[in-house]
Structure 1
Amino acid sequence: MKRYQIAIYIRLSKEDDRCKEESNSITMQRSLLERYVKDHFADYDLHEFCDDGYTGTNFERPGVQDMLERVRNNEINCIIVKDFSRFARDYIELGSYLEQIFPFLGVRFISLNDKYDSDNYQGSIADIDVNFKNLVYDLYSKDLSGKVRSALAVRKEQGQYVSGNSPFGYEKDPKDRHALLIAGDEAEVVRRIYSLTVEGYTASEIARLFNETHVKTPIEFKMEKGKTSRIPKGNRFMWTASTICQILRNEIYIGSIVQKKYEKDFVGGKNHIKPREEWLVSYGHHEPIIDRKVFDKVQEGRGKKRNPKRHPTHPLTGKLVCGCCSRNLSYRAGLNPYFTCKNRYSNAMDHCVDKANAMFLEQYILLMMQDKLETEGELERLTKDMIDRYIDKIVVCDEQRIEIFWKENSKVCGCRS
C-alpha cells in the first residue's frame, strides 16, 4: 500500500465571514478534515494549506498556489476539502482539475460534503450531481459577489470606510468598524515622514534613515498588535522608497477617504484604475494626522520627474535576487544594460548589488545551460531536431521552386500540364 502525502485545503472568504457560519470557520474545517483523514487513512503524511479571506472565483490565492506547486513537484498525491466550493467556485476550472489535471498527475481528490472521491470514478466525472453542484456554486458565487459589491457601493456613497484593513497610522474604532481612530505610535512615524520630506529628504533617504535607526515598518507594527504574521524575504523587514511614497501621496492622512478608484471588468477579474474625476472622495471623514497645508506642500514637488515611457523588460527580470538583502534585482536598459538592487540606497546595507552586467549574465547562463544539456545528452538531440526541421523546409522550398519552374516554362512553350 502506497504512503499518501495528503493535503487538506481550507478556505474562508470575506463573504463567508459576513455570514458568520460556524461550519465554514477555519477551525471547524480543519477539525472536520483531520478527523476524516484519521478515520480513513493509515499510512500518510499530512500537509495543511489555508487561505483566509480569499475568494474562490479564481486561483490567485497563496495557499492554493503553494499546494498546486507541490502537486506539480510530486510532493502531494491526495487533496481533501470540505466541499467543492472551498477549492474553486468556477465550475469550468474545477471540472478541468477533476477530469484532466489531477488524473494526469495521479492525484486523488476528495470532497467530504459532496461525497466525491476520484478513486470511485473511472475516466471523467460522469455523475450529473457533481457537475450540477459545481454549476450552482459558480452561479451562487457570482450572485453573492454582485450583492456584496452593491452593498459596498451604497456604503461608499454614504462616505463610510469599508476596507477590512486600517491604513498605517490608524486603527478601526471598536464601536464602529466604519470609523477610524489615530494610532499614536504609528502616527508619529507618519508625521516624521512628512516632516523630513518638507526638510528636503527624498523617499530613498528617509527609507535609509529609518533602516539605519531601526524604525519599525508598518508590517512590524501590525505583527506586534497581532493583526498579521509574516516572514521577511531577507533577514529583516526593511523600509523602501515605494512605501514612503505611498504614505506621502495618501489623502487618508488629511482626513479624507478616496474610494471607487478601481473597477473590475468582471467578477474575479483584475482591478483597473479609473480617471481621477470618477473617484469618490469623502472629506472630513476622520481626524487628520497631517495638516492640509503640509500635505499640499509635499505634493508640489512630487511626480514631476516621472517618465511616462515604459521601460523595456528582460527575460531574467524577477529571477535574479540580491545576495545581500534577497530582494529582486531591477533591470536598467542602455548602452551597457545591467541589473541592480534598487534598495541599496535605502536599506542601510553595504553589500547590495550595485551593477551586474546584463550581457555577462546572459552569456554565463547560456554556458551553464549548454553544459547541462551536453551532460544530459539533450544538446545533440536538439541539434538533430533542428537540422531535421531545416532539411524538411529546404525540401519543401525545392519542391515549390521546381513546381513554379515547370509552370513558367509550360506557359512559354504553350504546353498544358
Structure 2
Amino acid sequence: MSREWIAPRVKEIVPSGIRSFFEVDAGNNDIVSLGIGEPDFATPESVRAACIRALDRGETKYTPNAGLLELRQEIAGYLQTGFRLRYDPAEEILVTVGSSEALDLALRAFTAPGDEIIIPAPSYIAYSPIAHLNGGTWVEAKTCAEEGFKLTAEALRKVITPRSKLLVVNFPNNPTGAVMTYEDWLPVAEVVKEHDLLVLSDEVYAELTFDSRHVSPASLPGMKERTIVISGFSKAFAMTGFRVGYACGDSGLLAAMLKIHQYTAMCAPVLGQIAAIESLGSGLAAKDQMVAAFKQRRSMFVAGLRAAGLECHEPQGAFYAFPSIRRSGMKSEEFALRLLREAGVAAVPGSVFGAGGEGHIRCSYAASPQKLNTALTRMEAFMKVKM
C-alpha cells in the first residue's frame, strides 16, 4: 500500500497488556486463571427471566438515547439510598454501553489537544490509551502499598501543572483493591477545587467495598458539580455481557456526553437495560450474597498468599489482590510468565498497570474457592522452588 491508512494515535497505543498476556499458552485446560476481572457467578435467575419475558414480548427496539427513563429513575433511587448521591434522572443520568463507553464519552467530551489527564497509578489499563486517543496527555500520580495505594493530596500536587484539566480516579481500585474513605477524600478534594479540576470517578466496584461504606468524591462539599460518576452493572451484579453502564453529573456536562453517544452507540442494548431494572429490584439480594462471598474469598486468598511467601496488603474493595513479588528477584512480567508456565497459574504482571505496578502481580479472586485453593497450593510450591 502506498498510503498509511491507520491513524497515528492508534498506531502509538499498545494492545491491552492483560489480553496479550493471556494469549500465552491459551487453551491449556490445566491453567488456573486469576487474570480476568469477571465474576464467576451467573447473572441472578430473576434478572435472566425478566429478559426472557421481554424478548417474548418483542421488546427489541431502540430506547431513548439517554436510556429508559424507568432505569434512570431506578439508578437515581439506588444511588441516593446506597451512596447518598442525588441526581435528576431526566437530565443528570446517561445510560451507556457499559461503564467503558461512559469513560470514553467523558474523555472525548472534556479533553482538548494538549490537556493533561492525571491518573493515580497503579491504574486500570484503559485510561491512558483513551486519553491519548482523544488528544490529551496523561501523567501518573503514584500511590504505594505503604499508604494502602490511596491517592494523597501530596501525590496529586506533585504532578499538577497549568495544563492539568481532568483527574481520573477509580476506587475501589483495579488492580490494588484500595478504597478511599471520606477522610481520605477531603484533602484531595481541596486540591481539586483549588486547581479547578474535573473529576471522572470510575465507581464500577462501589458495591464491592468490604470493611466500610463506599464514598464517592461527588458526595463531598463542592464536588458534585465537578465530578462525573461512572458505574455499571457488570461487576457487582454479574452482568458483564449485558453491557450496561451509566454516567451521572451536571446536566450541562452530561449533555455534551449525550451528543457523542447519540451519534455513536445510539443507546445501550434494550434487553440489557431491562435486566438492569430488574437487578435493582429482585436482584439486590443476590448481589449482597455475591459481595459476601467475595469478602470471604478475599480473606482466605490474602492469607494464602502471605503463607506462600508473597507479601500482600489487605485489599478493601473490588476482587483483586496485588501481592509483591520482589522477594523473588524477578520483574513482574518474568514472574508472571514463569508462574504460568511452571505452576499453571495465570496472573497479570503489575507492570501493565503503570507507575508503582512493577514488583507486583494482580490476582483476581473472582473464582471458585476450589480454584483459589488450587492456585495457592501451586503458588506456594512455586515460591519454595524460586526462593
Q: Which has the higher contact order (CA 8 A, sep 6+)?
A: 2
Larger radius of gyration: 1
- TM-score, structure 1 normalization: 0.27
